[in-house]
Amino acid sequence: MRGPHNLIRLIRTGATLERAGAMEAVLDAFEAPRHVRIVLRTLAWPFQWLAIKGDTDVPPLPRALTALGPAYIKFGQVLSTRPDVVGADLATQLRVLQDKLPPFSVAEAKAEVARELGLDADSVFSEFSEPVAAASIAQVHRARLASTGEEVAVKVLRPGIERAFRKDVDAFYFAANMIAALSPASRRLRPIEVIEHFDGVVTGELDLRLEAASASEFAANTAEDDGFQVPTVNWAYSAKRVMTLGWAEGTPIGDNAALDAAGHDRQKLGARVLELFLNHALRDGFFHADMHQGNMKVAASGDIIAYDFGIMGHIDEYTRRVYAEILFGFIQRDYKRVAEVHFEAGYVPADQDVDEFARALRAVGEPIFGMDADHISMGRLLNYLFEVTERFGMETRTELILLQRTMVVVEGVARSLDSRVNIWDVAKPVVTSYIRDSIGPRAVLGDLVKTAKILARFGPRLPGIVEATLIAQSETAPAETPRPWAWLIGGVLIGGLATGALMMVGFTL
């Protein structure tokens, strides 16, 4: 890391935050001690001439980050998914960040296409529009394939964006190490881990092949979902810095007047947005983690079209089951069961009192159930739940924080379409269906079959494993100690018979 380079960038950052009036909020979020506050503000004040003014109509922190450029905008967007780090208030402020930046020229975009695909852009596309969207990392053009006449969206990374991000991320690491050194109390917020998380997110977004893969997987998972579409990836014209997808033609889901004029039922759309998200999170464990109005349209058929797959969430099957049982317990108002699930999953340390934890959960759930339907929020429930579990020693789980943040965004979209939508009424059949299919007797049998299939792969190696174990036992066991060969062989035989039986059951299902 180059100290002088990073120091200059951080001084400019501090000066911009100070000038925008955002420095205090940042220091509060990171619980900076008094001496650190004095040092930082003393250093920032004389250098305000280096600060970038920004748009005064925007709140202080988003204004400062937008003024500082693409890496800072993206950093703010990532931090908006981590209220566990910056606090709920600051995370809410950061959600309004917009990364609409001045576009680069069509000529530059075509040059990038030619470099990446090894083909002249004008030979590939018979039409190639001015940018229809320009974000911090890339911009999108509407185009038409010369070979088929199909309309497509072509996403192109900004020229030189990798180098620009690398310089800023380098400065972020420098700042994180300084914070950890100057303020030991801040280490519980894991500043270096936060930057590593950001670095990983950005690295993924700077390779459009990964976004294309996410879009392809998401499309495969949701192919049978009624009323939902994902644009098809055109792999022939996609590479690291260029991605080509089918064009999503429709009405922006945030334009209620246009939706009404087109004859769409906004009440049904609001419920469908929630149902789709819950299905994707629970059923597939792979969900669109940036489902705001700008990333969805409504087709003429009434189908919801999702696009922009730079941020996706993943939850493993075990965590999905735990999450579903927790939600189901809250829906049933069975707080004791919700508490037991937390203990069974190891989320809450075993030395805590399960009954006391259940009472704390009741204090979370009952006020929410007492609200009017149009005020009930699953996102709020999860937020309160995390606050309670933190008091009982539960460690932060990043995947659940991302899920909670996305739930808040999706609820916002649903309520913008229909302010009267009842979150619980929509969620109950989805969660109940998942519980039935994934935790009931058939699911247990399915788990056993999966286990048997995995064990069966080791069948050819079992004789060698048994022989090696017997030889090792015969060489190391004392003469007077009964050798456990009979137990071992018996176990292998029983395991083999059980595996065979389960395999037969599995193949008949």
Per-residue model confidence as pLDDT tens digits over 254-282: 899 999 999 999 999 999 999 999 999 98
Confidence of residue 508 (pLDDT cuts 50, 70, 90): very low
Read off the tokens for 502.
């389960």
Point out the residues that are catalytic: 290
- Sign of the CA dihedral running 192, 197, 198, 199: positive
| Residues 126 and 94 grouped into a single domain | no
Q: Averaged over 445-463, what is the pLDDT?
A: 67
Are residues 243 and 197 located together in one domain of the fold? Answer: no
DSSP letter (8 states) at residue 302: S
Joined tokens for residue 331:
């829906």
Q: Domain boundary residue among 190, 223, 247?
A: 247
Average pLDDT value over all residues in the chain:
80
Residue 451 lies in a domain: no
Condensed to tens digits (0 to 9), the pLDDT of residues 467-499 reads 777 777 666 655 554 455 444 444 544 455 455
> Do 429 and 344 belong together in one domain?
yes
Domain boundary among 439, 469, 499: 439
Q: Based on the fold, state whether residues 373 and 394 are members of the same structural domain.
A: yes
For the record, the structure tokens of 191 come out as 């500043």
In the chain, what percentage of residues exceed pLDDT 70?
Answer: 75
What residue numbers bound the domain in which 133 lies? 105-157+207-247
> How many domains is the chain built from?
4
pLDDT value of position 190: 67
For residues 260 and 385, state if they share a domain: yes
- Segment 358-378 shows an average pLDDT of 75
**Using 50, 70 and 90 to split pLDDT, how confident is the model at 443?**
low
Please, what is the end-to-end C-alpha distance for the chain in angstroms? 58
CATH of the domain at 230: 3.30.200.20
For residues 210-231, give the mean pLDDT. Answer: 95
Q: At what angle do helices 378-391 and 317-332 cross, to 10 degrees?
A: 100
Sign of CA dihedral 164, 168, 171, 177: negative
Two tokens at 426?
Answer: 């929509």
Do 281 and 352 share a structural domain? yes
pLDDT digits (tens, 9 = 90+) for 404-420: 778 888 888 888 898 88
- Helix (H) or strand (E) run with residue 399 in it: helix 398-417
The predicted pLDDT at position 67 comes to 82
Residue 46: its H or E element? none
Q: For strands 296-298 and 251-252, give the pairing.
A: antiparallel
Segment 56-112, tens digit of pLDDT: 777 788 888 888 888 888 888 777 766 656 666 777 777 767 667 789 999 999 999
Residue pair 402/382 in contact (Cβ under 8 Å)? The answer is no
CA distances from 121 to 111, 283, 442 (A): 8, 40, 53
Query: 219: pLDDT confidence band, cut at 50, 70 and 90?
Result: very high
Question: Is 450 among the domain residues?
Answer: no
